[in-house]
Amino acid sequence: MATPTSAQPQVLINTVAAARAEGPGAVWKLAETERDLDANLIALPAGERIDAHDGPDLDVLVHVVAGSGRLETEAGRIDLSPGALAWLPRRSRRAFIAGPDGLRYLTVHRRRQALTLGPTRIGEG
């Protein structure tokens, strides 16, 4: 069998098992280097929140894997429960509030290009 020359399909994570991971914040991140997507599994403890903010300049899918909570937008409140798949249009205003059992959700979006800084030469420009 020939050796693959590019990234191959694979299972990256079992979201049901990962939903039980301890700790707040990003409990898992897509780490493969050859990719066009970013993905994170976010854990919010019971009653915690991510304050209202304007999203990035890209669309985001949010898939709730455990717990419950709500998504607050300019248009109103959206209740979240396991299995919910929400679309957050680019630059949309959003806040997340975890319910009594916390909230765990997977985000998927186009990968943002890393900011690369190079040396600056005095006198150029």
Pick the CATH number of 21-110 from 3.40.50.1000, 3.90.1300.10, 1.10.630.10, 2.60.120.10: 2.60.120.10
pLDDT at 121: 53
1 pLDDT tier (thresholds 50, 70, 90): low
Lowest mean pLDDT among 4-13, 44-53, 108-117: 108-117
Q: Which residues pair with 63 in a beta bridge?
A: 85, 106
Higher-pLDDT residue of 89, 115: 89
Where in the chain are the domains? 21-110
Average pLDDT over residues 87-109: 94
Do residues 54 and 91 touch, judged by C-beta distance below 8 A?
Answer: yes
Lowest mean pLDDT among 14-18, 19-23, 47-51: 19-23
